Amino acid sequence: MEKFGNITLYNDDCMNVMKTFKDKQFDLALVDPPYGIGANKMTLGNGKRKIYRGAEDWDRQPPPKEYFDELIRVSKNQIVWGANHFISRMPFDSSCWIFWDKGTGENDFADGELAWTSFDTTVRKFFKSWVGANAKEKYEADRIHPTQKPIALYKWLLKNYAKEGDTILDTHFGSLSIGIACHDLKFDLTAIELDKDYYEAGKKRLIEHQMQLTIF
């Protein structure tokens, strides 16, 4: 475990770490687990050829049902990206799905991604183009993970589904975009990443962001 201000990081299996947490310890679990679609082997899209992919089979299958049971035990509310790929493992139906419109245009790529939530509200959409020059924002131009999500998306989620003082959990932090969003918005985050290389790359990205803000 390492702490960087309001951010606590674990380089470990999330199932092992979650066992140490109390019931409903976190206000919101905001997670992006493997979808089980082989993203680590994809060669198309935003620079996927250039990105370190970690363990060869990390996206071979989504987490087991036991993962979702534990996630719901330790958190009061949940937002789970990619749940349309493993809906049979989700604990209950949801009226509040989130659609991230990626602005991919007319091609064979998906128009966006879906997240299941535990909130009893309506479907919401967030637009953020994630192709070409539109994706090259500060701290995001160089992708370090093939399924990296924009910081702006996490900030939107936190502003709309968390409140001041809430504690946040992420079990598969990957590029740690959520860490930068939580740092900027002053949310306490506990984030876990199993892959050592992704852990170090995400940690480096967070530290550089914190240092840049300190300088300026």
pLDDT digits (tens, 9 = 90+) for 161-198: 999 999 999 999 999 999 999 999 999 999 999 999 99
Cα separation of 104 and 101, whole Å?
8
Q: Would you state the structure tokens that stand for residue 60, as one six-digit string?
A: 């071979």
Cα separation of 38 and 59, whole Å?
5
Task: Give the domain CATH number at 55.
Answer: 3.40.50.150
Q: Which residues are CB-contacts of 213 (< 8 A; sequence separation ≥ 6)?
A: 184
pLDDT greater than 50 at residue 47: no
Q: How confident is the model at residue 57 (pLDDT cuts 50, 70, 90)?
A: low
Mean pLDDT of 121-132: 89
Q: Quote the domain boundaries for residue 190.
A: 2-215
Q: Which of 182, 184, 187, 183 is nearest to 167 (CA)?
A: 187
Cα separation of 51 and 46, whole Å?
9
**Strand intervals (E) in 139-179:** 167-170
Q: What are phi and psi of 87, to 5 degrees?
A: -60, -30
C-alpha triplet 206, 15, 90: angle, nearest 5°: 100
Q: Which residues are CB-contacts of 42 (< 8 A; sequence separation ≥ 6)?
A: 48, 146
What percentage of the chain exceeds 70 in pLDDT? 81
141 or 145: which leads in pLDDT: 145
Q: How many domains does the chain have?
A: 1
pTM: 0.88
Q: How confident is the model at residue 83 (pLDDT cuts 50, 70, 90)?
A: very high
Q: Which residues are CB-contacts of 93 (< 8 A; sequence separation ≥ 6)?
A: none
Mean pLDDT of 50-61: 59
| Structural contact between residues 173 and 29, judged by C-beta atoms closer than 8 angstroms | no
